[in-house]
Chains A and B, each alone.
Chain A
């Protein structure tokens, strides 16, 4: 336990020494692990985190507690992850927003402050309207947005969140200035969908499962999903490409990370455990049933994936004038 709480500076060099002192961490984990979720519980990220935590708990033989640290468009939770002691007892479920903050200017925290462990999911954004709205399909809606600039409002996340970028990028692709639809910030999809059903906003972007209970209650309708193919769990919902003819796949993703400077052997232990969880029938079944897209990358692949996303988002955000 002597490396339980190393000072931050020491911890960075710790990675280099990890092999020689590997025995000190050999019995990792020997106490409960905290899994930080930067979004409120009940949403998509939280559901994945809890399922992952259950699996990891079985694989590692230690309790894995899910802790929701919400606020500031996920900045709070991601900052907590990045600032945690790199001892492997504080991990996080990182989401796509980590590749946007420094471009928007809301925080300097980025994927470089984290040790990637595994990418476990990739999720398409969907375009929802109120059940009482006149828009029968995506085409209607797009025409109205184009014809009536600054008339409509959209909700579902904080500004600059992955789904917001997916939505704005979609409008941009369709030749509509995304700034003509004002964003009403909400903490996650659920309050946004409630506002949509009550007539407070015109559109809400969310994942398909997030809108499912409201869709079943016939309070909202989902016009399209931003994916290359229809999702297996939601075969009735068309893709954006089917309507517009232009390919548009965008949304969010989630992965397991630790703070930067996590010792290599800890990363290996966790990546191994995460892969076992990912491949388990229970996890596969859960993800498919809930409509979450499956995607796997190990520590190296995940780092490259985040670097690429970071670069792309930088461009989009700049184009949209979201940078502060």
Chain B
């Protein structure tokens, strides 16, 4: 109880509240502008959070991402262009509702479901994370090794249609993480004689390069080619929302839980949660034929799920230091910069901070209501911001942000190089998610493996000696086998189709 009180005291300080509000507004802007994602909002925020205390830093990211996901629904409903990928699953549905004259209702449902879904996610996070943490206190380097390896494999599996390209993207991320001095042996690797690289490639230029610069490169050529039509006016949001919510209460609860669980899987984030939730709700619906015609049922399910997934991703991130999605990969990076290594002991040694983070989640989700309403009202103006002005500003922000962490111009070059690399990879259908997860997880996998080997004098089988480790290990090997089989099969099938045609 005393901890909860202390946590409340930490959150209700004026600077933390101001940061939450400011970051929410920032997330609102980025989310509502088509093409700019919640992950990009996070990457752009990190340089500023770098200078904050841990709690405001995390609050900023939590608030900005929740708001960005919600604001992303707005251009979807108004213009049929999803603001962020997390809204893509139900953009069509919301837009068609609008065509039926229910634009206010569509946006109102989006907003309220997001808040409810988010709160369900927080409740599950706050309840389960400490329990899992208690269990994880029994974990040694053996278990951590398998867990991190499992995280890497999930990241590849769920990243997209092509596991082969996902795996290659992951390997490139692992290579990036190898640069610098190895923490176990002290060996210097791949620094090319550059002393700034001794401590490795810092996470900030990687994040900004992969998620902001690459995105800019992709969008910039479209300037002048895409014109948004003026959005229709929004009338009476919230009218009829209450009865709709009540009608689909079961779907909301189910999607909230499902979204949280999907979010907790490493690599699967809000976008995948909303697709799966939409599909499941259609399957279970009594009126599946109405889906795709402007029917609110799928909208309700998917917009609850994507916000719940945001919270779910924090479970593995806080408990094991294994990111549940790209955003929590950034969060782990931020925490490590602050000297807090996420792990089960954080729940003992930093219990107040953890509780404060949960409170921030609740607060940020409640704040969605007034700010979301503001965003709906102001959508017209946000969508009128010309990309030709916005993109150069984002570029300057990227440069200064990459420089800020270490005051190093080398980091700016790295940001540019990694941005170009990510751009080319994405153009060729390589997913970026596995790469960033690998940058975070690479050192975890390696150093825990090395520790286990030192304890066992190089005896590999010791990794299966402890029961939990054996279970995790079996699972990890199984998933890796699945990846390899499906990669080989994809090559095989192409050959079959090539010869038959």
The closest CB in chain B to the CB of A46 belongs to B339
Cβ contact within 8 Å between A198 and B341: no
Q: Is A214 an interface residue (CB 8 A)?
A: yes
State the CA gap A106–B188 with chains docked (Å): 10
Q: Is B141 an interface residue (CB 8 A)?
A: yes
Residues of B contacting A22 in the complex (Cβ-Cβ under 8 angstroms): none
State the CA gap A40–B447 with chains docked (Å): 16
Residues of B contacting A69 in the complex (Cβ-Cβ under 8 angstroms): 199
Mask: chain A, 144-165; 1 = CB below 8 Å from B; 0 = not: 0000000001010011000000
Cβ contact within 8 Å between A42 and B345: no
The closest CB in chain A to the CB of B184 belongs to A185
The closest CB in chain A to the CB of B349 belongs to A213
Expressed in whole angstroms, the minimum distance between the Cβ of A283 and any Cβ of chain B is 20
Residues of A contacting B337 in the complex (Cβ-Cβ under 8 angstroms): 68
Interface pick from A5-13, A186-194, A289-297: A186-194
Cβ contact within 8 Å between A190 and B341: yes
State the CA gap A194–B343 with chains docked (Å): 9
Within 8 A of A (CB), among B141-157: 141-143
Residues of A contacting B99 in the complex (Cβ-Cβ under 8 angstroms): none
Residues of A contacting B200 in the complex (Cβ-Cβ under 8 angstroms): 71
Mask: chain A, 70-100; 1 = CB below 8 Å from B; 0 = not: 1111011101100100000000000000000
Cβ contact within 8 Å between B138 and A198: yes
Q: Is B195 an interface residue (CB 8 A)?
A: yes
Expressed in whole angstroms, the minimum distance between the Cβ of A131 and any Cβ of chain B is 11
Within 8 A of A (CB), among B18-69: none
Cβ contact within 8 Å between B451 and A186: yes
Q: Assuming the A-B contacts A72-B198, A194-B344, A200-B140, are A158 and B339 also in contact, with contact meaning beta carbons closer than 8 angstroms in the complex?
A: no
Cβ contact within 8 Å between A199 and B345: no
Cβ contact within 8 Å between B338 and A195: no
Cβ contact within 8 Å between B198 and A201: no
Cβ contact within 8 Å between A214 and B345: yes
Q: Is B266 an interface residue (CB 8 A)?
A: no
Cβ contact within 8 Å between A41 and B139: no
Cβ contact within 8 Å between B199 and A71: yes
Cβ contact within 8 Å between B199 and A70: yes
Q: Is A197 an interface residue (CB 8 A)?
A: yes
Q: Is B371 an interface residue (CB 8 A)?
A: no
What is the size category of the interface that chain A forms with chain B?
35 or more
Residues of B contacting A174 in the complex (Cβ-Cβ under 8 angstroms): none
Q: Assuming the A-B contacts A79-B195, A153-B455, A198-B137, are A191 and B186 also in contact, with contact meaning beta carbons closer than 8 angstroms in the complex?
A: no
Residues of A contacting B188 in the complex (Cβ-Cβ under 8 angstroms): 72
Q: Assuming the A-B contacts A194-B137, A195-B140, are A184 and B454 also in contact, with contact meaning beta carbons closer than 8 angstroms in the complex?
A: yes
Cβ contact within 8 Å between B137 and A197: yes
Q: Is A219 an interface residue (CB 8 A)?
A: yes
State the CA gap A73–B187 with chains docked (Å): 11
Pick the residue among B141, B339, B406 that contacts A41 (CB under 8 A): B339
Cβ contact within 8 Å between A191 and B199: no
Residues of A contacting B239 in the complex (Cβ-Cβ under 8 angstroms): none
Residues of B contacting A185 in the complex (Cβ-Cβ under 8 angstroms): 183-184, 450-451, 454
15 sampled A-B residue pairs with Cβ under 8 A:
A40-B339, A43-B339, A72-B181, A75-B198, A80-B198, A158-B183, A159-B186, A185-B184, A186-B451, A194-B343, A194-B344, A213-B348, A213-B349, A214-B349, A217-B348
Which 10 pairs show the lowest CB-CB distances between chains A and B? Answer: A41-B339, A200-B140, A72-B181, A42-B339, A76-B199, A213-B349, A198-B140, A71-B181, A71-B199, A76-B198
Which A residues contact B (CB, under 8 angstroms)?
34, 40-43, 46, 67-73, 75-77, 79-80, 83, 106, 153, 155, 158-159, 182-187, 190-191, 193-195, 197-201, 213-214, 217, 219
Which B residues contact A (CB, under 8 angstroms)?
137-143, 180-184, 186, 188, 195, 198-200, 337-341, 343-345, 348-349, 406-407, 447, 450-451, 454-455, 457
